[in-house]
């Protein structure tokens, strides 16, 4: 391979997980996981077929029940470990454990001893091939992540696995360090800060306490030092799935392996769905009888409670080992698919007394961080870690597709801003908060960052609810958006990393566009505001008029109605053919109606006080 093509090939980042593995890259388009939305998480399952075929990933997992004696899960657990140490785990494996060279653990298939670095190597190779197909360049170098507690033998076995996959290891990075890098933690200004990484995956739990040390100190990945680590190698999402099945069976036994697998599969699906739903139902066939199964959020919460308590025991131990109190922790980062559990999030927040970082997908954050480390090693993206001002304004969508900016471009971070809004429809019980980034006035020209719903608002007339939206960007550029309805106290929030997926060129273009289009955007925004406010005005006047028409002078009413008709027509025109509407004329007409309608509102108020309907 020529010098040039090596230079063009990126150093990818790989999260070689016990349950799932994934590959990511960080190039001019920013850090991203490869392999498409559906296939990005590849199950760490490998089948060695009798014909010599090696099948990796989703298919191997799916067909495991058919080929139990040929399918290997969790090879990571065995890397660099001795066979005698691993006997305890042999019951969890359908493939018998054997002893390879130097007493190392291996898997007995077709009378041969397959080593875990061959199995993990097959996973790495599959990831490499997928990434090459997507990027269209050969990939030879990777940053691979390993648990912080991996010893030399386990790290060496990981390197061997990479070599078997045709990859050279640019660096092995600790998983908690990679997760921190993904959040931009560890910039020079944060030296001395302590970060806890809470990682609850499929089969293991790890809690790691890192300290950020000044760049010039010789420690791994430049500036992260592991102060303490603890965990449980037999605690994860799989245990939760089994506990859910136990809850359903309530002591009774299941007939066949395939029925049990079906139950486990539904348990996992129900568990995941409960991240957003409050109840899940399904009918499954169990012991040849159709059974209606359901799981509620409350049931799941009580099933997971003892598991969470065990993780917190580890967290307590980590803090005690380092003689550090929860209040001395600057940041808590959530990693691993199981931290999507609502209860995990709330308990961890309670334990550490702060909101954990969860803006990035917890099952992708390690791979993203590894990719960032790869880009830094390749000398491509130093800028990623340097974010001292907001590169683009941050705001939300308002009625009519316009934007309201809460934090302006070039605002130094950390920073905070809030603004008040209300509803636009009567009896509206939920509002959508759509967070956008960019300088333009309308959302179609901005970048959409995320959406959430504030629900449970008591029905009130339009304009009465007091909605407050707060933006908080912290030192790492993590944006927390919170919406609150003051009268009822209902609140909802979201966390986002606005810098993700945004390249410098894009930011520059978005900024330049805003200048080019400033005039037309302003005009359109003004028209939208006029239209929205006029529509509400007209609605209120019509309502007042309906109540007190008889108490008013006929000529006044006729004039008022004529103005309302003209303004309504302008609203319609502004919506459909905005170019033909003169904002000045529109504004004048609206102001005229404001003045004329004072009387009808006065009479209506006097009327309702007399009628006793106010309050």
Q: Which positions lie near ligand ADP, rule CB under 6 A?
A: 17-20, 201-204, 236-238, 268, 271-272, 275, 336-338, 340-341, 363
Q: Are 22 and 377 in contact (CB under 8 A)?
A: no
SS3 of the chain: helix, strand, coil, percent, to 5:
45, 25, 30
What is the distance in angstroms between the CA of the first residue and the CA of the last residue of the chain?
81
Q: How far apart are CA 3 and CA 9, in angstroms?
A: 10
Q: How far apart are CA 448 and CA 445, in angstroms?
A: 9
Residue 209, by phi and psi: left (phi above 0), alpha (psi -120 to 50) or beta? beta
Within 13 A of 599's CA, how many CA atoms are on the CB side? 12
- Identity of the residue, 86 or 235, whose beta carbon is nearer to ligand ADP in the bound complex: 235
| Count of residues touching Mg ion (by CB under 5 A) | 2
- Identity of the residue, 10 or 337, whose beta carbon is nearer to ligand ADP in the bound complex: 337
Q: How far apart are CA 356 and CA 513, in angstroms?
A: 36
- Identity of the residue, 226 or 581, whose beta carbon is nearer to Mg ion in the bound complex: 226
Minimum separation from the CB atom of position 309 to ligand ADP (A): 17
CA 435 vs CA 360, 388, 406, 498, 501: distances in Å: 16, 21, 10, 10, 15
Residue 203 interaction partner, one of ligand ADP, Mg ion, none, beta carbon < 5-8 Å per kind:
ligand ADP
Q: How far apart are CA 315 and CA 329, in angstroms?
A: 12
15 catalytic residue (yes or no):
yes
Q: 205-212 and 194-200: which strand pairing? A: antiparallel
Minimum separation from the CB atom of position 565 to ligand ADP (A): 53
202 near Mg ion (CB under 5 A): no
Which one of the spans 15-23, 138-146, 165-173, 207-215 is the region binding Mg ion (CB under 5 A)? 15-23
Collect all residues with Cβ–Cβ distance below 8 Å to 288 and sequence separation of at least 6.
255
Minimum separation from the CB atom of position 87 to ligand ADP (A): 22
- Identity of the residue, 202 or 477, whose beta carbon is nearer to ligand ADP in the bound complex: 202
Minimum separation from the CB atom of position 201 to Mg ion (A): 4
Which of 30, 35, 186, 201 touches Mg ion by CB under 5 A?
201
575 catalytic residue (yes or no):
no
Minimum separation from the CB atom of position 74 to ligand ADP (A): 8
Tokens of 432: 């959508």
Residue 19 interaction partner, one of Mg ion, ligand ADP, none, beta carbon < 5-8 Å per kind:
ligand ADP
* Residue nearest to ligand ADP as judged by C-beta position: 237
Helix (H) or strand (E) holding 605: helix 598-611
DSSP code, position 463: T
- Identity of the residue, 311 or 597, whose beta carbon is nearer to ligand ADP in the bound complex: 311
Minimum separation from the CB atom of position 438 to ligand ADP (A): 30
Q: Say which of 76, 271, 405, 590 is annotated catalytic.
A: 76
Which one of the spans 194-202, 247-255, 346-354, 568-576 is the region binding Mg ion (CB under 5 A)? 194-202
239 catalytic residue (yes or no):
no
Q: How far apart are CA 136 and CA 126, in angstroms?
A: 15
- Identity of the residue, 17 or 438, whose beta carbon is nearer to Mg ion in the bound complex: 17
- Identity of the residue, 184 or 201, whose beta carbon is nearer to Mg ion in the bound complex: 201
Q: How far apart are CA 318 and CA 228, in angstroms?
A: 6
Which one of the spans 9-17, 64-72, 130-138, 215-223 is the region binding Mg ion (CB under 5 A)? 9-17
CA 288 vs CA 228, 246, 256, 393: distances in Å: 50, 18, 10, 59
Residues forming beta bridges with residue 45, ordered by sequence position: 73
Q: Say which of 126, 160, 199, 241 is annotated catalytic.
A: 199
76 catalytic residue (yes or no):
yes
Q: Say which of 126, 175, 355, 439 is annotated catalytic.
A: 175
Minimum separation from the CB atom of position 44 to ligand ADP (A): 6
CA 400 vs CA 40, 56, 467, 531: distances in Å: 36, 49, 18, 9
Residue 423 interaction partner, one of ligand ADP, Mg ion, none, beta carbon < 5-8 Å per kind:
none
Which of 10, 17, 100, 391 touches Mg ion by CB under 5 A?
17
- Residues in contact with Mg ion by CB under 5 A are 17, 201
Catalytic residue set:
15, 76, 175, 199
């Amino acid at each position: 391979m020529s010098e040039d093509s090596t230079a063009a090939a990126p150093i990818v980042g790989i999260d070689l997980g016990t349950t799932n593995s994934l590959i990511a890259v960080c190039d001019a388009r920013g850090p991203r996981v490869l392999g498409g939305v559906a296939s990005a998480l590849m199950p760490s399952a490998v089948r060695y077929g009798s014909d010599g075929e090696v099948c990796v990933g989703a298919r191997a997992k799916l067909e495991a029940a058919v080929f139990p004696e040929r399918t290997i899960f969790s090879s990571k657990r065995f890397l660099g470990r001795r066979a005698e140490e691993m006997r305890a785990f042999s019951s969890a494996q359908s493939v018998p454990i054997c002893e390879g060279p130097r007493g190392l653990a291996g898997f007995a298939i077709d009378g041969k001893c397959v080593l875990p670095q061959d199995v993990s190597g097959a996973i790495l190779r599959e990831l490499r091939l997928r990434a090459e197909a997507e990027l269209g360049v050969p990939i030879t170098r990777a940053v691979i992540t390993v648990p912080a507690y991996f010893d030399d033998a386990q790290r060496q076995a990981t390197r061997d696995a990479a070599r078997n996959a045709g990859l050279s290891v640019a660096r092995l990075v600790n998983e908690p360090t990679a997760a921190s890098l993904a959040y931009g933690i560890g910039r020079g200004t944060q030296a001395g800060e302590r970060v806890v990484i809470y990682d609850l995956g499929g089969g293991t739990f790890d809690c790691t306490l890192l300290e950020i040390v000044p760049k010039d100190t010789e420690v791994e990945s430049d500036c992260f030092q592991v102060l303490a680590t603890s965990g449980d190698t037999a605690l994860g999402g799989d245990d939760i799935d089994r506990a859910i099945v136990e809850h359903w069976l309530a002591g009774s036994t299941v007939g066949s392996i395939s029925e049990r697998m079906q139950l486990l599969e539904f348990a996992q699906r129900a568990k995941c769905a409960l991240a957003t739903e409050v109840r899940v139902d399904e009918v499954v066939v169990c012991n040849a009888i159709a059974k209606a199964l359901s799981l509620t959020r409350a049931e799941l919460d009580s099933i997971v409670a003892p598991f969470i308590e065990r993780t917190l025991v580890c967290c307590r131990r980590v803090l005690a080992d380092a003689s550090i109190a929860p209040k001395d922790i600057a940041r808590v980062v959530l990693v691993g698919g199981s931290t999507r559990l609502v209860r995990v999030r709330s308990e961890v927040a309670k334990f550490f007394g702060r909101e954990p970082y969860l803006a990035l997908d917890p099952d992708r954050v390690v791979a993203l961080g590894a990719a960032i480390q790869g880009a830094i090693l390749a000398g491509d993206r130093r800028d990623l870690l340097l974010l001292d001002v907001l590169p683009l304004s941050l705001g939300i969508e308002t009625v009519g597709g316009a934007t309201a900016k809460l934090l302006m471009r070039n605002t130094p971070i950390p920073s905070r801003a809030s603004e008040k809004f209300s509803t636009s429809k009567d009896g509206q019980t939920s509002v959508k908060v759509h967070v956008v980034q960019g300088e333009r006035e309308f959302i179609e020209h901005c970048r959409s960052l995320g959406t959430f719903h504030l629900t449970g608002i008591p029905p009130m007339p339009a304009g009465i609810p007091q909605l407050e939206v707060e933006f908080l960007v912290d030192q790492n550029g993590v944006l927390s958006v919170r919406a609150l309805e003051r009268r009822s106290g209902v609140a909802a929030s979201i966390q986002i990393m606005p810098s993700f997926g945004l390249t410098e060129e894009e930011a520059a273009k978005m900024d330049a566009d805003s200048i080019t289009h400033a005039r037309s955007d302003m005009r359109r925004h003004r028209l939208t505001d006029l239209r929205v406010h006029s529509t509400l005005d007209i609605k209120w006047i019509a309502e007042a008029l309906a109540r007190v028409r008889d108490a008013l002078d006929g000529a006044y009413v006729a004039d008022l109605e004529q103005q309302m008709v003209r303004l309504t027509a302008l609203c319609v025109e502004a919506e459909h053919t905005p170019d033909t509407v003169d904002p000045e004329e529109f504004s004048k007409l609206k102001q005229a109606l404001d003045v004329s309608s004072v009387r009808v509102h006065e009479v209506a108020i006097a009327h309702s006080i007399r009628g006793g309907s106010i309050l």
